Structure 1
């Protein structure tokens, strides 16, 4: 019997756009980990609070940026893709998330790490809109930064409290199926974008 080659495991960094430990979007990312195919390894980044407010004076002091920025950049460079789960604050994306993207968009010793990076966007909210406006704002920022944003499927989780139990576990079958479709589509998106990603890596490392 001829052994078939194993599908590569894609490494995906996950960012929750809220610093709250038990935020709906952090819970959504952990649910995505449970629903993702075995060939997609999702890891939730837990140190976003260490990224300081963007300040060009800090860049002039050290082109690599502060330690919190360096750690986030390194985590993104090591990943094949990025998934961002955003809340919606005042009809837009949170400041902490925009701040992180502003840092990641800058030239650094690791290059412009968002350029040609496959990215997928989703979000959960306690209200009825499911972060639609925040996701639109986030997509605009990511496109401007040169990221390769997956256009579909979209995932807008409204009334998040109805989808999780008191321990933060997803209890909604429809939500689980939506996350399965979302993560499988992102795995395919990473594969489709692989040539551009490889070219960007070559540019970074020369």
Structure 2
């Protein structure tokens, strides 16, 4: 079977981000016919419609990476009950100029981890609303609202035992869902 390329968009720039660790941990749980590429967001300029005719090289690169993928995985923290600005900025770049979005039709999923007790529930809901408008079908169940606490990750970065069965089950559902929608 051909390799299924998943573009991973992590909504955090923090070096020791729980969500970056979660993205890497989830990729280790995927079947071998899936490859995950974590896309770089920290070099994207702030979106400005005046730049649509001549986007920065980093924006062109980002849009090409999305276009070259078959599926999407959004892994995001929650900031002030919504998505981080860096994530919204990346989404805006890849959806513009109007009519030239590279998001549409690619199956996606939304997960996230936070130190808060409700995980990233509000951020995920806001992100799902945005993705719905951009014609990105998202996996609805199971939902992944991870409370980031001791033991979530092993020292090697893999998913810890307490969450392993749940997240392996989620990955099984996600990969089957992506295959169904390709």
What is the DSSP-based 3-state SS (H/G/I as helix, E as strand, rest coil) of the residue aligned with 2:35?
Answer: strand
Q: CA deviation at 1:182?
A: 2.1
1:135 aligns with 2:124: yes
| Partner SS state of residue 92, structure 1 | coil
Listed as ranges, the gaps of 5+ residues in structure 1 are: 1-6, 195-206
Question: Is 1:70 the counterpart of 2:25 in the alignment?
Answer: no
Q: Is the 2:22–2:159 contact (alpha carbons within 8 Å) kept by the matching residues of 1?
A: no
Do the aligned partners of 2:152 and 2:162 also contact (CA within 8 Å) in 1?
Answer: no
- Tell me if 1:120 matches 2:114: no
Q: 2:161 and 2:17 mapped to 1: Cα distance?
A: 20
Provide the residue aligned with 2:43 in structure 1. 50
Confirm whether residue 191 of structure 1 aligns to residue 179 of structure 2.
Answer: yes
Task: Judging by fraction of residues, say which structure has more helix.
Answer: 1
Residues 17 and 87 of structure 1 are in contact (CA less than 8 Å); yes or no, is this contact kept in structure 2? yes
- Indicate conservation of the 8 Å contact 1:87/1:131, yes or no: yes
Cα RMSD (Å): 1.8
Report Cα offsets for 1:9-45 as digits up to 9, x if no partner: 2111111100112100000001011111112111222
Q: Which residue of 2 aligns with 1:4?
A: none
1:15 to 9, 12, 25: 9
Identify the range of structure 1 (179-188 vs 71-80) with the bigger mean alpha-carbon deviation: 179-188
Cα distance 1:82–1:134, how it changes in 2: closer, same or farther (>3 A)? same
CA distance, structure 2, for counterparts of residue 54 and residue 107 of structure 1: 11
Find the partner of 2:30 among 36, 50, 56.
36
Alpha-carbon separation, structure 1, partners of 2:136 and 2:159: 32
- The aligned residue for residue 181 of structure 1 is 169
> Are 1:22 and 1:168, in contact at CA under 8 Å, matched by a contact in 2?
no
Per-residue CA deviation, residues 41-96 of structure 1 (Å, 9 max, x unaligned), is 11222x21111111011114x1xx21111111111111110101000001111011
CA distance in 1, matches of 2:156, 2:90: 25
Residues 114-156 of structure 1 show CA distances to partners (whole Å, capped at 9, x for unaligned) of: 1111111100011211101110111011111111111112111
In the TM superposition, structure 1's runs of 4+ consecutive aligned residues that sit over 6 Å from their partners are none
How many equivalent residue pairs?
182
SS in 2 for 1:48: coil
**Do 1:124 and 1:160's aligned partners in 2 also have CA atoms closer than 8 Å?**
no
